Structure 1
Amino acid sequence: MAGLYEIWQRAEVSRRLDVLSGFIAMCAASDDDARRRLDQLVAGAHAALSASPPDLLLASDHLDELVWWADTEWADHPYRPVEARPEEADRQTRDYAKDLRRAALPVDVRDEMGRIELSLQVRFLALCRQPGVDRRMRQDVFYVAGRASMALDLGHLEAAEREIRRMEQVGAVRSRESRRG
């Protein structure tokens, strides 16, 4: 199974490739030669990313050529995508990485992750909708739910279930406190 760092790198290249190839496809829609060139570059990048092990250097070379092409031909285009700020780029890359990580897992593990994810969502909403939920409890529930979600992103099912139990404990303690007070 691919390591998390490798998955992150693949996700980063894939994210940038998708954004830039979409822009170039729009700009080159009426030019058959440009469309062929775009198709070759994107197919080459995808083939490099899909190889086992992925050839990130080759995929990055194809991406660099797309960047150069867009900068040369359409640098002043009003819809030219700009590189996302680091925090936004990381958020977007995280979404791609979650998909890549999940795809690398066996079906039974993905099914179990789906069950845990559904359980997390149901319990999270139930706790947030309890009558008398104060701001502090809501913050604690959000925090622990975030930890469970991160554990799922990393494929740590036991840690995710442990965080769900912890979230329920936070809800139970806060409910008892609000009934007393």
Structure 2
Amino acid sequence: MAGLYKIWQRAEVSRRLDMLSGFVAMCVTGDDDARSRLAQLVARADAALSASPPDLAAASAHLDELLLWAETEWADHPYRPLEARPDEADRQTRDYAKDLRFAALPVRFRDEMGRIELSLEVRFLALCRRPEFDCRTRQDIFYVAGRAAMALDLGHLEAAEREIRRMERVGAARPRESRCG
């Protein structure tokens, strides 16, 4: 789990760096010195994140310097990005973390994950198209599909396949008479 936490931290710094460097790049379009300063800051932060192992402290320090620069120069700018709400920041960071983790996996493992992910999506969509399901059955299908997706995110292929089979069993059960709402 320590590896996942490090990936999460790296993804969080990467996400914030991408957002803020894009804003600063927009603001410094005519100033060659500022563009050079931005390029150096981003290059140093990227190098720290790409090191083996990643130097999160150095990358965070470069991000802090960029943040201070943006706050000093463009605090009142109407398009200055705001920090995302915690739930939105977590969703964005999760996307970054999935990409980082996926890139670090061996090719055979990524291929197997892709196969299982495709299987999950095809079977989930097939079940969603069935008109005879009531609201509760659909909720159960969504829930189990979410569990399978989480298992894939964590790299637990056996659990993902187990949840796909479970989702199919939910879909194969006799439709219920109850209604949601």
For Structure 1 versus Structure 2, the TM-score category normalised by the shorter chain is over 0.9
> What's 2:120 paired with?
120
Q: Is contact 2:144-2:167 (8 Å) kept?
A: yes
The one-letter code of the counterpart of 1:4 is L
> What's 1:42 paired with?
42
> What's 2:89 paired with?
89
Q: Deviations over 1:2-35 (max 9, x none)?
A: 8100000000000000000000000001110001
The one-letter code of the counterpart of 2:101 is R
| CA–CA distance in structure 2, aligned partners of residues 177 and 95 of structure 1 | 35
Secondary structure at 1:3's aligned position in 2?
A: helix
> What's 1:54 paired with?
54
Tell me the TM-score normalised to structure 1 length: 0.95
The one-letter code of the counterpart of 1:25 is A
Q: Deviations over 1:55-83 (max 9, x none)?
A: 00000000000000000000000000011
> What's 2:133 paired with?
133
| CA–CA distance in structure 2, aligned partners of residues 30 and 137 of structure 1 | 58
Which ranges of structure 1 fall in alignment gaps of 5 or more residues?
Answer: none
| CA–CA distance in structure 1, aligned partners of residues 113 and 8 of structure 2 | 20
What CA RMSD, in Å, does the superposition of the two structures yield over aligned residues?
A: 1.2
| CA–CA distance in structure 2, aligned partners of residues 41 and 177 of structure 1 | 59
- 1:133 Cα deviation after fit: 1.2
Q: Is contact 1:132-1:178 (8 Å) kept?
A: no
- 1:130 Cα deviation after fit: 1.2
> What's 2:69 paired with?
69
The one-letter code of the counterpart of 2:6 is E
Q: Within 5 Å, give how 1:126-165 maps onto structure 2.
A: 126-165=126-165
1:22 pairs with 2:15? no
Secondary structure at 1:82's aligned position in 2?
A: coil
Tell me the TM-score normalised to structure 2 length: 0.95
Which ranges of structure 2 fall in alignment gaps of 5 or more residues?
Answer: none
Q: Deviations over 1:86-128 (max 9, x none)?
A: 1111011000000001011001111111110000000001111
The one-letter code of the counterpart of 1:136 is R
- 1:156 Cα deviation after fit: 0.8
Q: List structure 1 segments (4+ residues) > 6 angstroms apart after TM superposition.
A: none
The one-letter code of the counterpart of 1:36 is S
